[in-house]
Amino acid sequence: MKREYPCVEVNLGKITHNTREIVKLCSTKGIHVVGVTKVFCAKKPVVKAMLNGGLEIVGDSRIENLKRLEEFKCRKLLLRIPMESHAAEVVKYSDISLNSEIETIKRLSKAAKRASKIHNVILMIDMGDLREGVLERDVIDLVKEIISLENIKLAGIGTNLTCYGGVIPDGNNLGKLVMIKKEIKDKIGYEIPIVSGGNSSSLYAVMNGTIPDGINQLRIGEAIVLGRETSFGKDVPGCYKDSFTLKGEIIEIKEKPSVPIGTIGMDAFGQTPHFEDRGIIKRAIVALGRQDIVSEGLTPLDKQVNILGASSDHLLLDITNSCNLYKVGDIVDFNMDYGCLLRAMTSPYVKKYYVD
């Protein structure tokens, strides 16, 4: 099949392998893995590859993505706390949702009753990162209220760390989450089944054996797709880092100065650029831009190629020192970080291809 560019090539075999390795790693600590699908917009071939790796539940932050996964028989978790206005869809398309607002949970209760379903909720507790979650002092009163609601099951408590405040998961904050489970049991007599201890940033604690006993669920996305934990950026043993490859086509090659000629003001994004004078360089333009990718998150596979910058539709490369004799029409390959992968998989202008 003739390919169109730009595109992302997804190696499904590597996704399955990474999933299997992480599921196996977490199982040694009694931890179940939720496979997070949001970075690749829950594309069905990738979701299937993750399920082939041993997952029993997938999670996404967008209800639109979960809708597309209706055919999959696995359990589905809504990661972003729901909008009240989406209560009926949340109950219909997800089995579990993360929640922090009692009024929203009441809406879910009514929607679940109308649908003759039981909807599971995980109460999110803010352990210091200051994104979503209730404060520790309010947990007991909220739990009492939640367990009194019809058609709602309090399936667990959870937290999120590093995503906003950069707070590292550790024995203190995750240990406190486990203690809150015990406090709920002691004060109310309610046994919390799930203690959801965060995302790929908590994986390093599994890797070094310091994750507190009692954490029994992690919500893992980046570690599966890019093969690294996200607290310190360490590679996950045995995992591939190149499951996703961005490919772009060269549309111009010219020798030009390394510094623009004239008075420099703001660029198209309101920034004032700065340039290093390296004389005349060989420059290539690839048909990719900030509408498709985050240029700072790209790494050319050709180590002698440097990224100069990007406008909305053009990616500028310095190919002066490359041993490859590039010509117009050639394809340049890139690895991506998480933010860049998110943008590329979301862009309708970047084609997606799947290989085994």
Give the burial string for 32-46 (b: 16+ CB within 10 Å, else e).
ebbbbbbbbbbbeeb
Residue showing tokens 């082939």: 52
Question: Do 159 and 202 form a contact (C-beta atoms < 8 A)?
Answer: no
Q: How far apart are CA 166 and CA 238, in angstroms?
A: 26
Return left, alpha or beta for 330; rule: phi > 0 is left, psi -120 to 50 is alpha, else beta: beta
Catalytic residue among 2, 14, 29, 38: 38
The one-letter amino acid at 283: R
Hey, is 278 helix, strand or coil?
Answer: coil
**38 part of the active site:** yes
Q: How far apart are CA 285 and CA 340, in angstroms?
A: 18
Q: How far apart are CA 6 and CA 298, in angstroms?
A: 14
Q: Which of 229, 214, 129, 207 is nearest to 175 (CA)?
A: 214
Q: How far apart are CA 322 and CA 307, in angstroms?
A: 12
- List, in order, residues 6 or more apart from 354 with CB less than 8 Å away: 9, 10, 12, 45, 46
Q: How far apart are CA 216 and CA 202, in angstroms?
A: 12
Q: Determine how many CB atoms are found less than 10 A away from the CB of residue 339.
A: 13
| Pairing mode, strands 119-124 and 96-99 | parallel
Q: What amino acid positions are annotated as catalytic residues?
A: 38
